[in-house]
A and B are shown apart, each in its own frame.
Chain A
Amino acid sequence: MVSPIFIIAGSLGGAFLLGLLRDPWRGASYVISLLVLTFTTWLAGSWLWALSSGAVTPVEILTAGTQPPFAVNLRLGIAEAAMVLLINLTGLLSALYLKDTLFKQGRRAMAVLLIFSMALSGIVMTRDLFNLFVFFELTVISTGGLILLSRDPRALAAGFKYLVASQVVSILMLVGIIFAYHATGSLNLDDMAAASAALLRGGALAFFLVFIAVVAELKVFPANGWALDIYESAHPAFSALVSAAAGSASLVAIDKLLQIGGPAWMDVASIIGIVSFVGANLFALAQRVDRRLLGYSSVAQIGLILFVVGQQDILGERYLFVAGGVLLAHAVGKAGLFWLSGLVAGRDLTAWSALRGNPLLLFAFASFLALLIGLPPFPGFYAKWELVHAIAAHDHLLELALLLFGALVEAGYLYRWFGYAIKREIDHEPIAPSLYKRAVVCVAVLAGWLLAYVWGELSPHDNLLHAVPVLFALAFLALEWLPARVKNALAIAGLLGWFAFSYPAYDPLQLIFALIVLAGGALILLASFHSDGRRLGFYPSAMLMYAGLAMLIVAEDSFNFFAAWESLTIGSYFLILRGRQSEPHALSYLVFSLGGAFLILAGFALAAQGNVQFLLVSLAEVAEPLAPWVFALLAVGFMTKTAAIGLHIWLPGAHAEAETDVSPMVSGILLKAGLFGLFMLLMTMGRQELYGVDLAHVMMWIGALSALLGNLMAAFQEDAKRLLAYSSIGQMGYALFGLAMMNHLGWLMALMFVINHYIYKSMLFLSVGGVAKRTGTRAMYQMGGLITLMPLSFIAVLIGIIAMSGVPPLSGFGGRWIFYNAIMTSEYRLPMILIFVSGPIAFLYLFRLIHSIFLGQLKDEHRRVKEAPFWLVLPQMIYVVCLLVFALAPGLALRRVDAYISNFLPQGALSWEGLTITSEFGYWSPVSIMLIVGVIFVVIFAWLLFVNRRAQKVKQFNIVFAAERPYRPETTHYAWNFYAPYKKALGFLAWPVFERFWAAVTDLLHTLAELLRRIYTGNGQVYAIHLLAFVVVVYLLKEGL
Chain B
Amino acid sequence: MKDELDKRLDNQPDGPERRGSLKDIPVREELLPRWVKGPEGQEYVVEPLQDYFCQAGPTVQTPAYTRIIEDLFNWARAESLWILGFGTGCGAIEMRPLMTPRFDAYRYGIQWRPTPRQANLFVISGYLSVKTLKRAIRSYEQMQNPKYVVGLGSCTINGGMYWDSYNTIKRLDDYLPVDLYITGCMPRPEALLQGFDDLKKLIRAGKAEGANHYAEHFDWYKANQKRVIKDWDMPDYSW
Contacts and interface: CB of A to CB of B under 8 A. Distances in A.
Direct A–B touching in the complex (beta carbon < 8 Å)? yes
Interface of A: 774-777, 860-865, 950, 952-958, 960, 963-969
Given A958-B238, A960-B117, A861 B36 contact: yes
Nearest to B41: A776
Given A952-B239, A963-B136, A968 B38 contact: no
Interface stretch (B51-59, B98-106, B165-173, B199-207): B51-59
B175 to A, nearest CB: 15
A93 B30 CA distance: 71
B23 to A, nearest CB: 21
A958 B54 CA distance: 7
B239 A864 contact: no
Contact of A958 (B48, B86, B135, B239): B239
A960 B39 contact: no
Contacts of A966: 52
Given A862-B39, A863-B51, 13 more contacts: A776-B39, A776-B40, A861-B38, A861-B39, A865-B40, A950-B61, A954-B53, A954-B54, A954-B239, A957-B53, A963-B86, A963-B139, A966-B52
Contact of A967 (B30, B42, B51, B117): B30
Contacts of B139: 960, 963
10 contacts: A775-B39, A776-B39, A860-B36, A861-B37, A864-B42, A952-B54, A952-B56, A964-B135, A964-B138, A965-B238
Interface of B: 30, 34, 36-40, 42, 44, 46, 48, 51-54, 56, 61, 86, 115-117, 135-136, 138-139, 142, 233-234, 238-239
A958 B143 CA distance: 12
B39 A774 contact: yes
Contacts of B46: 860, 863
Given A952-B56, A956-B52, A863 B44 contact: yes
Nearest to B119: A960
Nearest to B54: A954
Given A864-B44, A964-B135, A965-B234, A958 B117 contact: no
Contacts of B38: 861-865
A963 B51 contact: no
A865 B39 contact: yes
Most chain A CB inside 10 Å of its own CB: which residue of B34, B116, B142, B234: B142
Nearest to A961: B138
B138 A968 contact: no
Contacts of B142: 960
Nearest to A949: B64
A863 B239 contact: no
**Most chain B C-beta atoms within 10 Å of own C-beta, residue among A774, A952, A953:** A952
A407 to B, nearest CB: 44
B54 A955 contact: yes
B52 A957 contact: yes
A571 to B, nearest CB: 31
A394 B67 CA distance: 98
Q: 9 shortest A-B CB distances, which residue pairs?
A: A776-B39, A963-B135, A957-B52, A954-B54, A958-B239, A954-B239, A860-B36, A963-B139, A860-B46
B45 to A, nearest CB: 10
A952 B44 CA distance: 27
Contacts of A777: 39
Nearest to B237: A958
Contact of B54 (A860, A953, A964): A953
A68 B46 CA distance: 97
Contacts of A864: 38, 42, 44
Chain A, interface SS category: loop
Contacts of B115: 960
A955 B237 CA distance: 12
Max chain A C-beta neighbours (<10 A), residue from B36, B38, B142 = B38
Nearest to A965: B234
A1 to B, nearest CB: 71
Contacts of B44: 863-864
Of listed A865, A957, A964, A966, residue having the most chain B CB within 10 A: A957
Nearest to B132: A963
A950 B136 CA distance: 25
Nearest to B49: A957
A965 B138 contact: yes
B120 to A, nearest CB: 14
Contacts of B40: 774, 776, 865
Contacts of A965: 138, 233-234, 238
B82 to A, nearest CB: 14
Given A954-B54, A958-B53, A963 B39 contact: no
A600 B30 CA distance: 61
A955 B52 contact: yes
Given A776-B39, A776-B40, A965-B138, A960 B116 contact: yes
Contacts of B48: 957
B28 to A, nearest CB: 9
A595 B40 CA distance: 41
B118 to A, nearest CB: 9
B123 to A, nearest CB: 14
Contact of A955 (B53, B86, B135, B233): B53
Nearest to A774: B39
A954 B117 CA distance: 13
A969 B53 CA distance: 12
Nearest to A773: B39
Contacts of B138: 963-965
B57 to A, nearest CB: 10
A952 B142 CA distance: 12
Contacts of A967: 30
Contacts of B56: 952
Contacts of A960: 115-117, 139, 142
Nearest to B48: A957
A1037 B67 CA distance: 109
B106 to A, nearest CB: 23
Nearest to B117: A960
A999 B14 CA distance: 60
Contacts of A953: 54
A800 to B, nearest CB: 23
A367 to B, nearest CB: 38
Nearest to A963: B135
A960 B119 CA distance: 12
Contacts of A963: 86, 116, 135-136, 138-139
B62 to A, nearest CB: 11
A956 B239 CA distance: 10
A880 to B, nearest CB: 26
Contacts of B53: 954-955, 957-958
Contacts of A969: 52
A952 B61 CA distance: 12
Nearest to A863: B46
A863 B36 contact: yes
B214 to A, nearest CB: 15
A966 B61 CA distance: 28
A925 B194 CA distance: 59
Contacts of B234: 965
Contacts of A964: 135, 138
Nearest to A775: B39
Contacts of B116: 960, 963
Contacts of B34: 860
B105 to A, nearest CB: 23
A973 to B, nearest CB: 13
Contacts of A958: 53-54, 238-239
A1003 B36 CA distance: 45
Contacts of B36: 860-861, 863
Contacts of A863: 36, 38, 44, 46, 51
Contacts of B30: 967-968
A764 B15 CA distance: 42
A527 to B, nearest CB: 19
Contacts of A776: 39-40
A546 to B, nearest CB: 32
Most central of B39, B44, B117, B135 by chain A CB within 10 Å: B39
